[in-house]
Amino acid sequence: MKSGKNGLYEDLKRQILTMELDPDQVLDEVTLSERYGLSRTPVRETFRRLAGEGYLDIRENRGARVIPMNHSTLRNFFLVAPMVYAAIGRLAVQNFKPQQLVDLKNTQAKFRKAASSGDALGMVIENNRFHEIMGEMAGNPYLEPSLSRLLIDHARIGNTFFRPRDSGMQQRLDLSVDHHDEFIEGIAQHDESKVVDLVFEHWELSRANMELFIAPQGLKADALVDGPATKTME
């Protein structure tokens, strides 16, 4: 744990992305002030900053809460995310700067390392940063806030459903890591069509994880339909 205002900001952001803080969890201003050696004012300023970035919900007389995640959230996420990601990918190809490509490669190296070692929390953080950098490459002030909000729930969904012993999920993870390398290659080559096509391939991996939410491990979606037939009275 870091100290000070920046430490509080970074720690809260990480804890929300990795689900160490539950959706809709209330944050204790007094406890955080003491833990980070801060007065109440910088803690409130940090809350407002995180609220502006989509991590917290602040309501009058109710304090700060972690942004909720429910069925409505997931539905809206899956409706909008492909469109935003595709637009980000297209603009990233058009507008990226050389240093941003270097940053993307460095983040990918960290993501691949976390994936190889089974570091679930590391994967969440580095995957989130990878797509943040793509948003920065796009450089569009209208899209970047939408991307930032989507990435919060993308990270939380991914962390919720990550099952390292699930062979199907491991295959999707390996493919996701390879997709990141292909994103880098497509952007470097200014290949807009390749990057946009890859966005939708990459998106299907998230859709596969959505099925785990609908039908958790050990429960088939058709269990009630294909269950034992009811005996009829003779």
User: Where does 39-153 show beta strands of DSSP type E?
Assistant: 56-59, 63-66
Say what the pLDDT of residue 210 is: 60
How far CA 153 is from CA of 30, 100, 122, 211, in Å, comes to 27, 24, 16, 16
Say what the pLDDT of residue 160 is: 60
The mean pLDDT of the chain is 85
> Among residues 8, 15, 10, which one has the least CA distance to residue 36?
8
DSSP output for 121-180: HHHHHHHHHHHHHHHHHHT-TTHHHHHHHHHHHHHHHHHHH--TT-HHHHHHHHHHHHHH
In the structure, what pLDDT confidence band is assigned to residue 211 with cuts at 50, 70 and 90? low
**pLDDT tens readout for residues 101-128:** 999 999 999 999 999 998 888 888 999 9
CB count within 10 Å of CB 82 equals: 16
**pLDDT tens readout for residues 142-183:** 999 999 999 998 888 776 655 555 556 678 788 989 999 999
| Domain architecture of the chain: domains with CATH | 4-66 (1.10.10.10), 71-214 (1.20.120.530)
**pLDDT tens readout for residues 18-46:** 889 999 999 999 999 999 999 999 999 99
Strands 56-59 and 63-66: antiparallel
Which amino acid would we find at residue 224? L
- Cα separation, 148 vs 125, in Å, equals 13
Question: Taking the model in full, what pTM does it have?
Answer: 0.81
